[in-house]
Structures are given as C-alpha cells and as structure tokens.
Amino acid sequence: MSKVALITGASRGIGAATARLLAQQGYRLCLNYLREAARAEALAEELSARGAEILTVQADLAEESEVVRLFQTLDRRFGSLDALVNNAGILLPQSRVEDLDAARINRLLTTNVTSQFLCCREAVRRMSHRHGGRGGAIVNVSSAAARLGSPHEYVDYAASKGAIDTLTRGLALEVAGEGIRVNCVRPGFIHTEMHGDGGEPGRVARLAPQLPMGRGGEPVEVAAAIRWLLGDEASYVTGAFIDLAGGR
C-alpha cells in the first residue's frame, strides 16, 4: 500500500508544489487548506486525474479542535499516516516591533507555532512505535527569517520560525528511538503570494539582486527538499535543517 502524507496549507505556494511532487512519488495525500477551497479542489482534481488518491480537508489549524478534526478525518479515509508536512503559516503586514500589539503577536504565534506543535502531537500519536505505530517522517517548514530576524519587516514572524527550529530539534531527539524522523526546511525569498499578505507582493523581486544567487526561489525548489527529507534516501537524517534561501 502506498504511503499517506498530510500537507497543511496545500492550497497554494510551497504546499501545493509539495503536493504535486509527492503525488508523483505515489503518496496518497490529505491536503489541508483554510480559505482557498476552489484552489484546493482544483489541485485535487489535477492530481486525481493523474491517478493520485486525494482527500481535501478545510480546517483552521489555529484552533485545536480543528486540528483534531483534520486528523480524525484523515484516519477515517486512510487509516494511517506516514508523513506530515507542517507547512501552513501566515505573514502579517510589515511593521516595526515598537508598533506591534498583543493581538497580532498572539495571532501569528498561534497560527505559525501552536498549530505546528499540535500537528506534530497528532502525528506522533499515530506514527510512534510507543503508540503501536509503524514510524514516519515529519518536515516542519520554518524560514531563513529564523536566522535573519527580519528587522523592519516582521520580527514577530521571524520569532515564530525560531520556535519551529527549536520544536524540530527537540522533537527529533524525543522521538528518534520511536521510528520517527523530524526535519526542517528553512526557505527564504520564494516566489509565492505570501509576500502580498505581508504588504509587498513584489518583495522577492526587490530583494533578488541583493541575494548571493541573484534570484528568488521557486516553490518547487523547496518542495524537492521536503520530498527528499520525507523519503527513504534520508533514512539516517533527523533533527536536520536544509536552508533554501539562495545563499543568504
């Protein structure tokens, strides 16, 4: 039976690119999204037409009950889970730290950090040998921002990704002996619509000339690293980070 993967935030961007690569590999996929139902369904149709087995689930992962419902829906359809891509995340409009308020900071941390913790929790409960599972692999999507800090733009977002790096390291060690590998990708400057949500749709094009490689990245370039980390070729890799930020 082919492996089952859950990709959070799969309606567009890096999540959608990852869905395309994992479908090519023969994974059965659960694609989560928040608002973009039409795009998630169009992607599911595209992949189904190529023979993939796809389940789409709308769920707001900032809500614990929604995370639980997502995994229960996946259980009913597939009955097992081999891979989790913890990808969903948000960026809020560019702002200096002195202008942030608690409501914004907490919204960002709940969506970017709490949700990834909860998805890891649900995945471990299903994958761990400790719970009778057959093992699995988790890839958390962090950001180069965790290293760079994103001054003058979004230090709150950067801090949320710093937490994802720590989650990755800690969880990887916690479950290393239970059949689960936990790794992380740290993209940066990838051409997606997320930068529009940050208030600057052309941000990657603006910054590209300053990057060592002189260009922004494509979602599929991140997806390829995720696919490798999930797969058997990475069987001895855990607690590791792959930076995909053109040398920055």
Closest CB 63 distance from ligand NDP, rounded Å: 8
- Residue 111 found at the interface with ligand NDP (CB under 6 A): yes
Choice between 143 and 168, CB closer to ligand NDP: 143
Task: Report the residue from 24, 35, 131, 135 that binds ligand NDP according to the rule CB under 6 A.
Answer: 35
- Residue 60 found at the interface with ligand NDP (CB under 6 A): yes
Task: Report the residue from 136, 187, 198, 246 that binds ligand NDP according to the rule CB under 6 A.
Answer: 187
Closest CB 240 distance from ligand NDP, rounded Å: 17
- Residue 226 found at the interface with ligand NDP (CB under 6 A): no
Q: What is the DSSP string of 187-211?
A: E-SB-STHHHHTT-TTHHHHHGGGS
For the CA atoms of 167, 173, 179, 185, the dihedral, rounded to the nearest 10 degrees, stands at 40
User: Is residue 140 exposed (0-12), middle (13-18) or buried (19+ Cβ within 10 Å)?
Assistant: buried
Token pair, residue 238, equals 């855990």
- Residue 18 found at the interface with ligand NDP (CB under 6 A): no
- Residue 193 found at the interface with ligand NDP (CB under 6 A): yes
* C-alpha span between 234 and 182 (Å, rounded): 11
Q: CB of 219 within 8 A of CB of 191?
A: yes
C-alpha closest to that of 241 among 196, 186, 189 = 186
- Residue 61 found at the interface with ligand NDP (CB under 6 A): yes
DSSP-assigned letter for residue 5: E
Site stretch for ligand NDP (CB under 6 A), options 56-64, 166-174, 207-215, 234-242 = 56-64
* C-alpha span between 19 and 25 (Å, rounded): 10
Active site annotation includes 157: yes
Amino acid present at 149: G
Residue nearest ligand NDP (C-beta atom):
13
Token pair, residue 166, equals 């720590």
Catalytic residue among 27, 33, 154, 157: 157
Token pair, residue 218, equals 């494509």
Question: Hey, which residues are catalytic here?
Answer: 157
Give the footprint of ligand NDP on this chain (CB under 6 A): 8-15, 32-36, 60-62, 87-90, 111, 141, 143, 187-190, 192-194, 197
